[in-house]
Amino acid sequence: MTQVLSVVSECAPLVKTGGLADVAGALPIALEQEGVRMRTLMPLYPQVKSRAEGARKVLSFDDLMGGPARVLAAKVEGLDLLLLDAPHLYDREGNIYLGPDGRDWPDNAERFAALGRAAAVIAAEGVNGWRPDVLHGHDWQAGLMTEYLYQMGLSDKVGTVMTIHNMAFHGLAPAEKIGTLGLDSERFTSEGYEFWGQIAALKAGLINADKLTTVSPTYAEELMTEHFGFGLDGVMRYRRDDLVGILNGIDDKAWDPKTDINIPPYKTPRGKKRAKAALQKEFGLPESNGPLCVVVSRLTEQKGLDLLLEAMPTLTARGGQLALLGSGDAGLEQAYRELANHENVGVRIGYDETLSHRLIAGGDAILVPSRFEPCGLTQLYGLRYGTIPCVALTGGLADTVINASPAALAAKVATGVQFSPITTEALRNAINRLCDLYQDAATWEKMQKNAMAQPVGWGPSAAKYAALYKDVLALK
């Protein structure tokens, strides 16, 4: 059995700020069916500590980025966890990345370098007789694990995989922190972890790891372009032969309209009517002749939510409605609060996991107008619940939704609506197409049935990860 240590900054259901946590929580369980044992190394935040009763110490550090630390082993919600307990780094309430002022914690470089350092030590020494064959790091927060592994002389012995969930975040730190982070200054070069005069944790991972993955085939191609590469497209082109796009899946047991305890359960598209009526009542929306569209998202320009604001008159003019759950940019939050004055718009600022289930179950369509989207999960939840995705043609949105083109409609295989270019005008056109399709009851129901029949679970993707780990080990 292949032994893998997943190194990640967040993991559902313990702590979540985005889709990364969902992936980190679901993948270990899916991999069990593929002969892979995955343990998860993550920080012991306060909200995690309350769930990790009975945790036992398996490793100690006298000084880890400025203070003593230890690694605790625990099993929670079916996950085999190794928790990095470093109070000077993680014992902080609120958002795990941001301080009370809404800005990054000033010591985020140290906080997540510690995570990478701990991963490398576990790979070198093991814990209680267990040692990973492969380290699998996620995003910049795990990037430096590969650098520490190199400095310890273990790159040829331990396999490494880095997964890019979002290239926009590099984990930058000033060069003055090279000593503080325990990095080799001679590797602070353009061929190493240097990026425009700064330390780049993500670049370290991309340069050093045996294999690179990202969360959809289309995003893998996009990352090699200047537009999507955020300055690292050259690195991605250099590593082209070691890069693979593997679609994310979803936990299809937690997200199952037949058994979901958060909604009136249903098995067919027609069963959605009760969920829709309940959602309209919850958001104070009247009955309407147009589609009830939902959004569950961070409110950012990356997610295209500024475009949706501009396109909303098209939706409401067609009798459509919007129910939105999200938080993020203060300006967008305020704009959506003001939009909620419209009788056919309901808005909740914040995040609520159970409400997200009710939204996706009750909506006729889910809107995902992202400017870039490595994979996206909400469109997968929409497919699972027969809630038609209306998405931008990018990343995983391009790979998971079958556009309602004339050919796809004639073949009766369409599952949603895609639009390109990613502009307000194109989104308006997509909304009009969506409303036209909604008025054709037979076509709409067929699309819903197609959507609900799509395979969106982790099975196929877990098999690809298992094969990738074997490829990595074959290099050693």
Alpha helices in 197-329 (DSSP H): 201-208, 217-222, 226-229, 233-238, 272-282, 305-317
pLDDT of residue 19: 86
Q: Rounded mean pLDDT of the chain?
A: 97
pLDDT of residue 279: 98
Mean pLDDT in residue range 277-301 = 97
Q: How many residues are recorded in the chain? A: 476
Read off the tokens for 81: 């966890």
pLDDT of residue 427: 98
196 or 18: which leads in pLDDT = 196
16 is in an annotated binding site: yes
CB 170 within 8 A of CB 193: no
Q: What is the pLDDT of residues 114-126, one digit of tens each?
A: 999 999 999 999 9
CB atoms within 10 A of CB 104: 15
pLDDT of 53 higher than 90: no
Alpha helices in 413-458 (DSSP H): 424-439, 441-453
- Quick one: pLDDT band at residue 452, thresholds 50, 70, 90? very high
Percentage of the residues of the chain whose pLDDT score is greater than 70: 100
Mean pLDDT in residue range 77-96 = 95
DSSP assignments along 319-379, one per residue: T-EEEEEEEE-HHHHHHHHHHTTSTTEEEEES--HHHHHHHHHH-SEEEE--S--SS-SHH
Tell me, yes or no, if the two domains 2-249+458-474 and 269-453 fold the same way.
yes
Q: Helix or strand or coil: residue 30?
A: helix
The CATH number of 2-249+458-474 is which of 3.40.50.620, 3.40.50.2020, 3.40.50.2300, 3.40.50.2000? 3.40.50.2000
Maximum Cα–Cα distance across the chain? 67
Mean pLDDT in residue range 104-114 = 98
Q: What is the pLDDT of residues 219-250, one digit of tens each?
A: 999 999 999 999 999 999 999 999 999 999 99
- C-alpha closest to that of 269 among 377, 432, 388, 359: 388
The 8-class DSSP code of residue 66 comes to S
Separation CA 438–CA 254 (nearest Å): 28
Q: What is the pLDDT of residues 375-421, one digit of tens each?
A: 999 999 999 999 999 999 999 999 999 999 999 999 999 999 999 99
Read off the tokens for 117: 């350092």
- C-alpha closest to that of 362 among 389, 385, 390, 339: 385
Percentage of the residues of the chain whose pLDDT score is greater than 90: 96
Q: Helix or strand or coil: residue 11?
A: strand
Mean pLDDT in residue range 127-138 = 97
> Structural domain boundaries of the chain?
2-249+458-474, 269-453
Q: What is the pLDDT of residues 140-177, one digit of tens each?
A: 999 999 999 999 999 999 999 999 999 999 999 999 99
CATH of domain 269-453: 3.40.50.2000
